Amino acid sequence: MKRTFLGEFEEVVLLVVAACTEDAYGVIIWEQLQEQTGRSITISAVHATLYRLEEKGYLSSQMGGATAERGGRRKRFFTVTALGSRALLEIQEMRQRLWQAIPQGKLQLIGQ
């Protein structure tokens, strides 16, 4: 199977959705992202990435949970699909392999 390319920001968003303890939707994901990365991110960028990930098949979603502060509008809850989890695992494995392949002492040398 040809793997769909996953961008860095996409990967982070996917990880955040996976790491969420409660139901993940736009605002929560955005807050987590801000917290974890420390970057300033617009919510429209988060939305755009979420939809793109859904199109690629890494996320699935359903509607629900309207609240007053949303003007009675429902939220879209995102969950990681099997394809999404496999993609995350593969990335992690690949990184692992690369980390292990680094010759001893080299990283320190570069670091200095």
Partner 1 sequence: MKPNPSPPRWLDKLLNWLVAPHLREEVLGDIHERYTLRMQRLGERRARQTYWREVLAYVRPRFIRRKPNQYPNPSHTDMLRNYLKIAWRNLTKNKAFSTINIGGLAVGMAVAMLIGLWIHDELSFNNYHQNYGRIAQVRERGIREDGRRYSNTSLPYPLATELKTSYQRFFKHILIANDPEEHILTADQTKLTETGRFIEAGAPEMLTLTMLKGTWAGLQDPHSILLSASTAQALFGNADPMGKHVKINTDMDARVTGVYEDFPHNTEFNGIKFLAPFVLWTSVNPWVKEQQWNNWFLSVYVQLQPGIDFDQVSALIKDIELNKIRNLEGAQKQVASQPQIALLPMSRWHLYGNYYEDDKGPVQMVWLIGLIGAFVLLLACINFMNLSTARSMKRAKEVGIRKAVGSLRGQLVGQFFSESFLVVGLAFVASVLLIHFSLPWFNDIAAKQLTFRWTNLYFWLAGLGFILLTGFVAGSYPAFYLSSFQPVKVLKGTLNSGRLVATPRKLLIVLQFTVSVTLITGTLIVYRQIQHAKNRPIGYDKAGLLLVKQKTADFKGKHELLRSELKNTGVVFDMAESRSSTTGITMWNGGFSRRGTGITCPNGCGTLPVSTEYGQTVGWQFVAGRDFNRAYSSDSAGFIINESFAKLLSLNNRTRTGKETAASLVGETVTWSPGSREARTYTILGVVNDMVALSPYESAIPTVFFLEDNYNWINIKLNPQVSAAEALPKIEAVFKRLIPTVPFDYKFADQEYGAKFAAEERIGKLASVFAFLAILISCLGLFGLASFMAEQRTKEIGIRKVLGASVLNLWGLLSKDFVVLVLIAFLLATPLAYYAMSDWLQKYEYRTELSWWIFAASGAGALLITLLTVSFQSIRAALMNPVKSLRTE
Give how far Cα 93 sits from Cα of 2, 27, 43, 68, 87, Å: 17, 30, 30, 43, 10
Among 19, 23, 63, 93, the residue binding partner 1 under the rule CB under 8 A is: 63
Task: Pick between residue 3 and residue 70 the one whose CB is nearest to partner 1.
Answer: 70
The alpha carbons of the chain give a radius of gyration, in whole angstroms, of 17
Q: How far is the CB of 56 from partner 1 (least distance, A)?
A: 13
Does residue 76 interact with partner 1 by CB under 8 A?
yes
Among 10, 16, 17, 30, indicate the residue that binds partner 1 (CB under 8 A).
30
Question: How many CB atoms within 10 Å of residue 69?
Answer: 7
The span from the CA of 33 to the CA of 107, in Å, is 28
Note whether 67 binds partner 1 by CB under 8 A: yes
Binding site for partner 1 (CB under 8 A): 25-27, 30, 42-45, 47-48, 51-52, 63, 66-71, 73-76
